[in-house]
Amino acid sequence: MVLTMNYAQAAVLAVQREMTADPRVVVMGEDVGRGGIFGQYKGLQAMFGPERVIDTPISEAAIMGSGVGMALAGLRPVVEMRVVDFALCGMDEIVNQAAKNRYMFGGQGRVPLVARMPSGIWDASAAQHSQSLEAWFAHLPGLVVVCPSSAQDNYSLLRAAMQCGDPVVYMEHKTLWGLEGPVDEDLQIPLGRAATLRTGQDLTIVSWSRQVHVCAQACEQLAALGIQAELIDLRTIWPWDREAVLQSCAKTGRLLVAHEAIQAAGFGAEIVATVAEHMPCKVKRLGAPRIPVGYAPVLEAQARVSVEATVQAAQQLMR
C-alpha cells in the first residue's frame, strides 16, 4: 500500500511495523513516551506499553550504555539521542563499546542497536544544536551510518537499520520532519544502496540528507543554463555506494560532492579522493565553512551551503 505521509510519520510507521514483527525491538530515550520532540514515536507507547517504549532519565551515557547492554543480551533497541549534538555525552559507549564489540569478541557478541541522532542545522538553534557529524561516525570501524532524505527512505531505511545485526547510527535531519511524500510500505531499500534522483551527462552531483533537496533545486537552475547534472542521493554514508558513484563519474567525467557538514575533513573528501584514484575525473567539494552555526539568521545563513553556491561550483567544473 502506498500512503502519503511526512518524514516523522514514516518513522513512526517503520518502528511500529518492526515492533509488531519482532518482540525483541524496544525503544528507549528521553520523551519517547510522549512521542519524542519531533513526533517520531507518536502513539507507540500507547500501542506497545511502557515496558517496550521506555522513558529514561536525562543521561545520554546511561541511555546508550543501557542500549548496548540490551543489545548484547539479545534485544534490538532503538536508542533515541534527541539530537546528534547530545549524543556526544554518550560517545564512549558508541565508540568503545557498540562499534568494537563484534570485533573484540570474535563475533560472539553482537550489538544490533539503532542510535537515532537527528542531525544538521536546526533553524534558530545555534551552535550546540545544529551540527552535522556524519563523518565522525563513518570514520569508526564497526558502525553503519545512514542519512535518509525523504519520507520513503526514512521508512524503508529505518526498517533496514532495525533489521541489521550491527550498530547503526541513524541520522534524520532536524528540519525534514514535516516533509511529505509517498511511502510504499512494501518497498525494501538495502543499506549501502544510493539512489539516482536525476540523470544527466554533463556532471555528477552527490549529496545526502537535507542537502539533496538543495542540490535538486540547483539541478533545475543548471538545466535552464543547458547543463544536465546527474544527482545521486548517497542515503547510506557507510557503507557508501562506490559503484553507483564511479559509474556515473565514468559517464560524466566531472564530480561535485555537496554536503551541509563542514567541508574540512567532511565525508565529501573521501568520495572525491576515491573517484580521483580510480579515473581521470574533475572533482570538487562543497561544504560549510569551518565556523560554528550562529543563532542570528544572518550568521546561520553563512553556515549553509546554498543553491547559488552549488550552481556556481557546478559551473566552475564545466569550464
Q: Catalytic residues, which ones?
A: 129
Of residues 203, 140, 141, 132, the one with CA closest to residue 173 = 132
Strand, helix or coil for residue 98: helix
Alpha helix segments (H runs only) across the chain: 7-21, 44-48, 60-72, 84-87, 91-92, 101-104, 134-138, 151-163, 211-224, 242-252, 267-278, 297-302, 307-318
The C-alpha cell at 10 is 514514516
Burial of 173 (0-12, 13-18, 19+ CB in 10 A): buried
Tell me if 254 sits within 8 A of 272, measured CB to CB: no
Cα distances (angstroms) measured from residue 178 to each of 149, 223, 225, 308 = 12, 28, 31, 24
Amino acid sitting at position 77: P
Q: How many CA atoms lie within 13 A of 106 on its CB side?
A: 0
Tell me the Ramachandran region of residue 131: left when phi exceeds 0, alpha when psi lies from -120 to 50, beta otherwise.
beta
DSSP code of residue 202: S
DSSP per-residue letters across 123-171 = TT--GGG----HHHHHTSTT-EEE---SHHHHHHHHHHHHH-SS-EEE-
**Length of the chain, please?**
319
| Farthest-apart Cα atoms in the chain, separation | 60
Q: How many CA atoms lie within 13 A of 92 on its CB side?
A: 6
DSSP code of residue 193: -
